[in-house]
């Protein structure tokens, strides 16, 4: 066995004109050389594979980096868009707050209860406690809530407020307002119990006596329809007007009547002139206000109501 291991192989390479080249080697050396070549080849192949894999990884990283950059730009644009939408929604909510206040003022005029909507702007008085869970509202949430709130306000305005307000305005327009005279005057005899100016005892006076010069124009204090225009032993020449909604007015002791029964008159229209006809001690106009057939004190009706200044 040792003899085979120590065997040597000789290769003789002849060259023209020169000495032959003799190469002598053992079989083990040849095997070792082949192994070295094989290992080097394998190492070179592995290194080449690794270089290619590294190159592919770099390309993928560059692609992912570009995708991340584009995504970042899109997210920034979306964030700006959401901020703009949120700003617009907040502005709309402020306008809706103003609109809701206006509608509640109209509801008050119409005799309706105040409209209470669920707040969506997150405003809470500092005196009120706050706590519990919650989540921020997105721009889309704000827009949806704003749209719902606007729909509710419009529905309330068209469905309940407008008809009630029209009724209220018509009633307010029918309400007698102001003096039936446009000259300086005073209340010579007021509403209620008074001493009988023509005899003994007391009597109930259902209006106001307003002195003025003979022939001074007398004006209707509200629009309406003349239901009486004639003579009475108490009021002499007088006019009675129905204004609707339970309101009626009477003007007595006229020297001249300028309207007829069934005639429609406007607020401020001349209906007669001051006189002293009937049960009267001097030129004046007797002015009465009736609400659903009952005489009421005309004094509150001499001034414009508070709603007229709204």
Q: Which residues pair with 140 in a beta bridge?
A: none
Residues 6+ apart with CB under 8 A from 310: 105, 109
Q: Is residue 239 very low, low, confident or very high in pLDDT (cuts 50, 70, 90)?
A: very high
- Within 10 angstroms of residue 90's Cβ, the number of other Cβ atoms is 15
Q: Is residue 57 very low, low, confident or very high in pLDDT (cuts 50, 70, 90)?
A: low
DSSP 252: E
Show the tokens assigned to 109: 């005029």
What does the domain layout of the chain look like in residue ranges? 9-80, 192-309
Residues 6+ apart with CB under 8 A from 133: none
DSSP 309: G
DSSP 155: H
DSSP 195: E
Show the tokens assigned to 305: 């109501």
Q: Is residue 220 very low, low, confident or very high in pLDDT (cuts 50, 70, 90)?
A: very high
Question: According to the model, what pLDDT value does residue 96 have?
Answer: 74
What backbone torsions phi and psi does residue 94 show, to the nearest 5 degrees? -65, -40
For the residues 220-241, what does the mean pLDDT come to?
97
- 26 compared with 135, residue with greater pLDDT: 26
What percent of the chain clears pLDDT 70, i.e. is strictly above it? 72
The mean pLDDT value of the chain amounts to 80
Give CA–CA dist 169/55, Å, rounded: 84
Q: Is residue 138 very low, low, confident or very high in pLDDT (cuts 50, 70, 90)?
A: low
Q: Which helix (H) or strand (E) holds 29?
A: helix 27-109
Please state which of the four CATH numbers 3.40.50.1220, 2.70.70.10, 3.30.420.40, 3.30.465.10 is assigned to the domain occupying 192-309. 2.70.70.10
- Is 84 a residue whose pLDDT tops 50? yes
- Is 66 a residue whose pLDDT tops 60? yes
pTM: 0.58
Contact 267, 227 (CB under 8 A): no
């Amino acid at each position: 066995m040792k003899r085979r291991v120590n065997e040597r192989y000789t290769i003789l390479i002849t060259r023209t004109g020169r000495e032959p080249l003799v190469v002598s080697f053992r079989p083990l050396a040849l095997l070792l050389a082949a192994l070295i070549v094989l290992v080097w080849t394998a190492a070179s192949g592995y290194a080449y594979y690794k270089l290619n894999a590294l190159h592919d990884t770099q390309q993928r990283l560059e692609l992912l980096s570009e995708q991340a950059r584009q995504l970042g730009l899109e997210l920034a644009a979306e964030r700006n868009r959401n901020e703009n939408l949120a700003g617009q929604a907040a502005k709309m909510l402020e306008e809706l707050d103003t609109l809701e206040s206006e509608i509640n003022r109209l509801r008050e005029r119409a005799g309706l209860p105040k409209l209470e909507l669920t707040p969506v702007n997150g405003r809470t008085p500092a005196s009120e406690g706050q706590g519990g869970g919650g989540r921020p509202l997105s721009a889309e949430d704000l827009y949806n809530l704003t749209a719902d709130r606007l729909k509710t306000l419009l529905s309330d305005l068209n469905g309940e407020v407008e008809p009630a307000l029209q009724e209220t305005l018509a009633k307010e327009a029918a309400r007698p307002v102001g003096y039936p005279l446009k000259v300086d005057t005073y209340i010579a005899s007021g509403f209620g119990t008074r001493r009988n100016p023509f005899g003994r005892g007391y009597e109930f006076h259902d209006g106001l006596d307003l002195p003025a010069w003979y022939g001074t124009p007398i004006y209707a204090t509200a629009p309406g329809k003349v239901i009486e225009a004639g003579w009475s032993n108490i009021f002499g020449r007088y006019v009675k007007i129905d204004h609707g909604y339970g309101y009626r007015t009477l003007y007595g002791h006229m020297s001249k009547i300028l309207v007829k029964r069934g005639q429609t008159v406007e607020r401020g229209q001349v209906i007669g002139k001051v006189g002293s006809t009937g049960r009267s001690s001097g030129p004046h106009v007797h002015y009465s206000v009736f609400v659903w057939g009952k005489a009421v004190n005309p004094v509150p009706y001499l001034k414009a109501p508070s709603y007229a200044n709204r």
